[in-house]
Amino acid sequence: MKQFKTFRFFYAALFSVIVIYSCSKGGGGGTTPNPCSGVTITVSGTTSNPTTLAASDGSITVSASGGSGFTYSINGGAFQSSGSFTNLAAGTYSIVGKSSAGCTGSASFILTAPNPCAGVTITVSGTVTNPTAPGATNGSIAASASGSSGFTFSINGGAFQASGNFSNLGAGAYNIIAKDLNGCLGSANFTLAAPNPCAGITITVTATLTNPTAPGATNGSIAAAASGSTGFTFSINGGIFQASGIFNNLGAGTYTIVAKDLNGCSGTANFTLTVPNPCAGVTITVTTTFVGNTPCGATNTGSITASASGGTGVYTYNLNGGAFQASNIFPNLPAGNYTVIAKDGNGCTGTTIETIPNLPAGPLFSLVRGVLQANCVTCHNSVLAEGGMNWTVDCNIVTFKDRIEARAVNANPSAMPPTGLLPASERQKITNWINAGGRYTD
């Protein structure tokens, strides 16, 4: 108990000495001034990098200014009087310089190790063994590397292994990386290919055809066979493959048959099914009658009536390449040549040519035309057409028959010809024709 009390007395005495010293330093009491106020401590130094990637023989030597009595700490360690720090590996270091007054400054320094792969080129080579069949995984790659030492190998991003031999490989592309003791890398790509099972294989497709029995029928068939390999399946026009080479219910047309063997080797052939020609040996005869055209009428009056024989079913008829129609009569035709085609129920056709003439001038019209030519054409012709009338054109006579009657028969508003009315017999010819209808054929 006495010793404990003595210690407490001594501690109290020491504390009081410190307090008294602090007060005297402050010059008579109050807050102690900051000794580092306005002080800038600068730390500078030189570095020596490690000599190898894993070495710890780097160093940093620093000095500080802006105060005195400096000690130094690296990366938060204990302060030491020397500014030299040795046995350092590559990395970033923070060094603090502290003056005797406790004022501090710091600086960061970076030590770097030399790149062990600088100037190193690693070359990867290898020998490939392809799989022996499509789908097989008995291929291999035996890889090696040069340009450094202590290699390990990786395939397609897998784990590194000491051996460069990779087995149980299927067809495909592979990337092999070689890594030396320093982690320096080199790589190469290799491709394994399976043998082509179709090399030297020629598949021939043949077929027996059964044509449809009629136009539009779908009772045709193709029975296909193949040679040049084994295990065939068959496809028609890009459809799914089937074991049988027989394809039924086919209409007329061209079909593509593909035969494929067990290895996927294929052969192709085209086959065409046709329907029998329903018109073979059929002769369709077309006969026609006509009604001639009456010239100078308001409409054409010619017509053709056709009939056909020698075919099957109901006939339709076509005139001069127009649409086929059920009626065999073509009315309202002008004079001219016409081609008539008849088509039966099977589409078989026959053709004939018919000519429609203009009907001849009637006897009454011919008499009137003679009267005008004898008495009027000197003033009414293609060169001199008094009043716009030209009686050398037959249809002008028909068109203007009322004018002819008014002037030459009735003298309204004046008689024609100007030398006086025609004789009564001549005027009667005009009257008779007009009373009969005043047509070209009257």
Residue 274 banded pLDDT, cuts 50, 70, 90:
very high
For 201, the token pair is: 């294989």
What pLDDT is recorded for position 2? 34
Answer yes or no: are the C-beta atoms of 49 and 113 closer than 8 Å.
yes
- pLDDT exceeds 50 at position 273: yes
pLDDT per position as a tens digit, 59-73: 999 999 999 999 999
Answer yes or no: are the C-beta atoms of 185 and 179 closer than 8 Å.
yes
Residue 29 banded pLDDT, cuts 50, 70, 90:
low
Answer yes or no: are the C-beta atoms of 365 and 433 closer than 8 Å.
yes
Strands 91-98 and 71-74: antiparallel
Residue 22 banded pLDDT, cuts 50, 70, 90:
very low
Q: Please indicate, yes or no, whether the overall pTM of this predicted structure exceeds 0.85.
A: no
pLDDT per position as a tens digit, 75-107: 999 999 999 999 999 999 999 999 999 999 999
Q: What is the DSSP string of 54-102?
A: T---EEEEEEEESSSS-EEEETT---BS--EEEEE-SEEEEEEEE-TTS
Partners of 123 in the beta sheet? 146
What pLDDT is recorded for position 302? 93
More confident residue, 4 or 231: 231
What pLDDT is recorded for position 7? 33
Separation in Å, CA 55 to CA 49, 62, 183: 9, 21, 16
Please give the single-letter amino acid code of residue 432: N
CA–CA distance, 396 with 381 (Å, rounded to integer):
11
What pLDDT is recorded for position 30? 58
What is the CA 301 to chain-centroid distance, rounded? 60
What pLDDT is recorded for position 32? 77
CA–CA distance, 191 with 15 (Å, rounded to integer):
85
What pLDDT is recorded for position 21? 27
pLDDT per position as a tens digit, 179-220: 999 899 999 999 999 989 898 999 999 999 999 998 889 999
What pLDDT is recorded for position 330? 97
Q: Closest Cα partner for 290 from 274, 276, 306, 279?
A: 306
Q: What is the DSSP string of 271-305?
A: EEE----TTTT---EEEEEEE-B-TTSSS--EEEE
What's the alpha-carbon Rg for the chain, to the nearest Å? 62
